[in-house]
Each structure stands twice: as C-alpha cells, then as structure tokens.
Structure 1
Amino acid sequence: MTEISSNGNHEISLTVEDDSIQNSPCPPPCKPKQESPLITFSLPFMQKMLAEVVGTYFLIFAGCASVAVNTDYDKVVTLPGISIVWGLAVMVLIYSVGHISGAHFNPSVTIAFATCKRFPWKQVPAYVAAQVLGSTLAAGTLRLLFSGKQDHFVGTVPSGSDIQSFVMEFIITFYLMFIVSGVATDNRATGELAGLAIGATVLLNVMFAGPISGASMNPARTLGPAIVWSQYKGIWIYMVAPILGAVCGAWVYNMVRYTDKPSREIAKSASFFKATVPT
C-alpha cells in the first residue's frame, strides 16, 4: 500500500508498506510496529539542493572563466589573478549560502563530514549529484561562451607524472579540509571568519599547486569540464586523491581539537563565537 501525506511544514512523505504483512494472519501480539516513511521530500532539503547547485555553478563558472580568459587573452589574468578569483569565489559563496546548505560545493568535503558523523550519509548522494550538476552546467555555459578558436579545455590534468599530481592533490585537499574543520566545526573558532579563512586557503593552494595538478581539490570541479569536453586524462587522480585528503584532514583535526579548557573561558577571549557551516 502506498500513502502520500503532507503537513504544515511543507513536507511530503511517501510511505510504502507491504500488503502481505498487513494481511498476515499473525495475531495482535506479533503485529509489526508502524514503520516511518521510507522516502521523504521536504522543502528545506530541496532548498539545500538548489543552494548547492547554484553555489557550485557560480564557483566553477568564475574560477574556470578566469582560466579561459587567461588562455585566450595573452595571460592577462595571470596565475595570481586566477588564484584570487578562486579564493574570492569560495569566500563570497560561503557567506551567501553557508547558512542554507553548509556551502560544501565539493564532494570530498561532503564525504569527509559524513565520515566524521557531522553530516548524514543518506544525504551524501543528493549533495554529490547537486555539486556535479552545478559544475557540469557551468562548464557547458563556458563552452558556449568561448567557442571556436577560444574553445580551450578548462579542466584539470596532470602537467607532470600522475604520482606527482596525486600527492599534490592529496596534500592540498588535506590542508583545505583541516582548515574547514577548524573554522567551521569547532565552536571555539571565530566562526564569522570561516569564509575568509577557507577562501584564503584555496587561494594559497591554487597559487603553488595550479601549475602542477591544476589545484582541483574537488572531484566535481574536475568532473564537470571533463564531461563537457570529453577529456578524461588522469581523471582517477582527481576522484581519489581529494577524497582521501579531505577524509584524512578532517580526522586529523578531530584528533588535535581536544582541549581541557572550558569553552566558556575560550569564548571570553574570542571576538567572534559562532559556527557558520551548520551540520
């Protein structure tokens, strides 16, 4: 039997029950308990999905557009300029939608939070799908805008050996997730500065890792352009290394975050005391 119900919180629940159980001759003492809805679609969750799609779209659009413009217009943006674009894009988007979806924009961040039990595993596939969709749409938009002679691949590929890029992606994503865990999940940190700290970390990583591996740190950032341009060289590096790096970074921070000093004492000396990325 299928039952669809709604309530005042704009939530629609789809409940699926087995008729064979309901019609079972089993006496009342062994009657199964009433089960909770198996599939639930809520307005707040859909808002989170939309925020992840839009946020990832603008992040990839801005960052990859800086790469395209730099390639087509005599290196006018330069490597420092590209680094600044990526860092600023991350920063402003965290402040824009961080309070809605957590501003992940990155499957490796989502998975790392889930492994630390700071994000529900059941929402991970939806978040990852939203992030990949946003990245693919952004890459498709850029290919339409920069066509003909201006059509250059804006994805990430290893410039040297695969192992060099793999290690580089692991380290910079570890670094990024370590910072994210510190400023976004620890209530002793200055939460209002999370966007600035994370954006600055991305800027630094792109500055020195960009020429080597492309400084992806994000499977969705690599996968979107790869799908649009059908170029998958070294794709496994950007699917595996960022996820491993993010998970390790999150767990290492969890190991060093312990303190025997009461939070209220730390709060007295902190000018800001609020986490910006909800879990």
Structure 2
Amino acid sequence: MPESENGTPNVSAPATPGTPGAPLFSSIRVDSLSYDRKSMPRCNKCFSVESLVSSPTCLIDFPRPDVSLTRKLGAEFVGTFILIFFATAAPIVNQKYNGAETLIGNAGCAGLAVMIVILSTGHISGAHLNPSVTVAFAVFRHFPWVQVPAYIAAQVSASVCASFALKAVFHPFLSGGVTVPSISILQAFMLEFIISFNLMFVVTAVATDSRAVGELAGIAVGATVMLNILIAGPGTGGSMNPVRTLGPAIAAGNYDGVWIYLIAPILGAVTGAAVYTAVKLRDEVDAPPRRSFRR
C-alpha cells in the first residue's frame, strides 16, 4: 500500500454504495447538429487558386470520427423516419378529420418532430434529416464529402419507408401529405428558396458557431421549421426538405411540381449557410461568449 510523506498509509475513502465511479455528467460540451466544431479543421486550399493545380485531398483528409459511420447512418435513418412520418401525418389527419389539425397543428407537428430528433440523435449523427443540410455542411467544410452519398441514401430510404407506412395506416388519405404548390411555379420556387435559406441560416449558427447557444439547437431549429410552415404551408406545403416531398410523392404517385422541392431547398440552404458564414464573428474578434439557459 503506498505511503504518504509522513509515513502513514494512504487509504482512500470507500465509495458510497450505489454511487457510480464516474461523474454523472461529462464536462465535454456536445452540440446538436454539429459534426464537431473543433475536430473539423478548415482547409483553405479548397477554395484557393492553388487547388486547381495541386488537387488537395479534400475528400479524405478528415480525422477519424468517434462514432462509426454505421451508427451514424442508423441514427440518421431513424431520425428521418420519425420526422417524415409525423410531419406528413399531420396534414393527412387534417384532411381525414375535416381540418382537425389546422395550419398551426401542422406546423407544430413538424417543428416538434425536428426538435425531438435533434435532441435525441444529434450527438450521434448530427441529425441532418435533410439532404439540403448535408450538402450545405459539406460545401462549407463542416462535413466530409465522402459521407454525403451515404447520408442522402439513408434520408431518402427513410422517407420512402415512412411514406409507405403512412399509406398503410391512412389509406386512401395519403394525398393530404403530399407537398404540391397551390401558387405559381415561380412563387413556389421563391418561397421554398426563402424558407430553406431561413432554416439553414439558423442551423449554421447553432451548429458551427461557438458563440451561438448550441445547447438549444433543437429548440431553435424546431421553432424555425414551425415558423416557415406557418408562412409557406398554404402555398407550397412548407417542405424545405427534398425527402419531405420525395417520399410521399412516390407513395402517392403524385409528382406535380416535385422538381421545385428538389432544387429550391438545396439552393436556399447553401445560400443560407454562405450568408451566415460571411456575417459571423471571426475567431480573432474578442467577443464575449453567448450564455445559454443551462449555464
């Protein structure tokens, strides 16, 4: 037994029965929606003139993540399934029961679904739930390009599975959950672009900026989704997400205006991420950290 300097043995106090050997809460802060703010080194070569000649290995030079890709894809599949099922079920129930949900109910279901999925799986997969988010993160080097196809495949397959589950449960009312524009094509495109811009602007803030309140990412993003649907729901269905439209369209066989929902959200998301990246405070600016309600 080791002794102290005065010759007396060091005897540690026995653990209290029922007390875990490790602390209940780790001091490490994990933010939802973020691949890892500190583990994703920026590669300035990717956007430089030299990259046209030197061809840096931007597709493979990311550190090995702590979570396996299989677990990430599993969490992304389950999270996207939950989102599509409940976000699509609300307008279906609204149609079946003669307006029981209302527009506020539809928006609330989608916002709550996003919030609970981010809070429950954000630490595993980042809870993208949306190909637009995945692509925008990859464009600005917050997510590795090599994982983008796998993430999108998981999101699309989850959307299709959720849509056919809805078809089995609510047939023949699935058409109520299909996002179809009730306004002109140009208006629908612009509306989906703007709400996707709004969504990704907020996502980029809470997921990539250490000064933002990252612990509240689920609430912030869920509230943004709800706000967007309250405005765009009557005109376009408030998709913001290619798989929110694609899965129900496949299950219902209704592809009216589907290209709008495949292109506008991606363009809007990339633009939203670009604008926030342009306006956010730089590391060299001595700005006080933002406080969250957990501190």
Scaled by the length of structure 1, what TM-score is found? Answer: 0.79
> 1:128-163, CA deviations, whole angstroms, 9 ceiling, x for partnerless residues?
010011111110000000124x34341211101111
- Structure 2 residue aligned with 1:242: 265
Query: Which amino acid in 2 is paired with 1:71?
Result: Q
1:65 aligns to 2:89 (yes or no): yes
Alignment of structure 1 residues 1-279 onto 2, 5 Å = 44-148=68-172, 150-259=173-282, 260-262=284-286, 266-267=288-289, 270-271=291-292
User: Contact (CA 8 Å) 2:215, 2:292: kept in 1 or not?
Assistant: no
Query: Equivalents in 2 of 1:233, 1:184: separation in Å?
Result: 34
Specify the SS of the correspondent of 2:99: coil
Larger helix fraction of residues: 1
CA distance in 2, matches of 1:83, 1:99: 25
The residue type equivalent to 2:131 in the other structure is P
Distance 1:273 1:252, change over 3 A: farther
Q: Which runs of 5+ in 2 are unaligned?
A: 1-59
Q: Give the SS at the match of 1:231.
A: coil
Contact 1:191/1:272 (8 A) holds in 2: no
Over aligned residue pairs, what C-alpha RMSD do you find?
2.0
1:63 Cα shift?
Answer: 0.9
- Could you tell me how far apart the structure 2 residues matched to 1:96 and 1:172 are? 24
Overall identity of the aligned pairs, in %:
53
How far, CA to CA, are the matches of 1:102 and 1:183 in structure 2? 12
Q: CA deviation at 1:180?
A: 0.4
Distance 1:164 1:206, change over 3 A: same
Q: Please give the per-residue CA displacement for 1:91-118, whole angstroms capped at 9, x wherever unaligned.
A: 1100000000000000000000000011
Contact in 2 for aligned 1:153/1:225 (Cα 8 Å) = no
Contact 2:228–2:238 (CA under 8 A) maintained in structure 1: yes
Q: Deviations over 1:51-92 (max 9, x none)?
A: 111100000101111111000001011000111111111011
Query: Which amino acid counterpart does residue 173 of structure 1 have in structure 2?
Result: S
- Once residues 273 and 166 of structure 1 are traced to their aligned partners in structure 2, the CA distance between those partners, rounded to angstroms, is 39
Structure 1 Cα separation of the partners of residues 174 and 293 of structure 2: 45
Tell me if the contact between 2:174 and 2:252 (Cα under 8 Å) persists in the aligned partners: no
Provide TM-score, normalisation by structure 2: 0.75
Q: Structure 1's 54 and 169: CA in aligned 2 closer, same or farther, altered over 3 A?
A: same
Unmatched runs of 5 consecutive residues or more in structure 1: 1-35, 275-279
| 3-state SS, counterpart of residue 62 of structure 1 | helix
Q: Please say if residues 193 and 264 of structure 2, whose CA atoms lie closer than 8 Å, have aligned partners that are also in contact.
A: yes
How many residues align? The count is 231
Residue 215 of structure 1 deviates from its aligned partner by 0.6
